Amino acid sequence: MKNVRLLASIAAGAVLLSATALAQADPKKAERAWKAKCASCHGQTGKGDTDKGKELKVEDMTAAKYQGKKDDELKKAVLDGVKADGKEVMPSFKDEVTPEQADALIKYTRSFKK
């Protein structure tokens, strides 16, 4: 009986890990989400070179300063939004992306390194 429980527990863990890995492993989904939700301000390559990005003075995601930020800090920005001088400069996306999707987007921005 112990062995059956152990095997069931291992199987359940494997399914959970597989689902998590699958959610994070599809770079095409992250790219599509980037284009749909982020590129209008941050640009296709993360340089912030769109009209809206220039107006908002968004950070160049290819720069070492951005790339040196911790994933948790970036995830908080995606999910909670960003304020500067008491004004919202980036809206919260917590109602539009899951934490796992935020992780995938952050991983995608890591590909923007100079």
Question: For every residue of 52-65, which 3-state class applies, written as one string?
Answer: HHHHHCCCCCCCHH
Among residues 66, 48, 58, the alpha carbon closest in space to that of 89 is found at 58
Rounded to the nearest angstrom, the gap between the alpha carbon of residue 97 and the centroid of all alpha carbons in its chain is 9
Q: Where are the domains of the chain?
A: 27-112
- pTM summary value: 0.73
Please determine, for residue 14, whether its predicted confidence score (pLDDT) is greater than 50. Answer: no
CATH of domain 27-112: 1.10.760.10
d(CA 88, CA 11): 45
Question: For every residue of 31-43, which 3-state class applies, written as one string?
Answer: HHHHHHHCHHHHC
Secondary structure of residue 87 in the 3-state scheme: strand
Tokens in use for 62? 């290819």
pLDDT digits (tens, 9 = 90+) for 56-103: 999 999 999 999 999 999 999 999 999 988 889 899 999 999 999 999
Residue 110 DSSP label: G
pLDDT digits (tens, 9 = 90+) for 16-38: 443 344 345 578 889 999 999 99
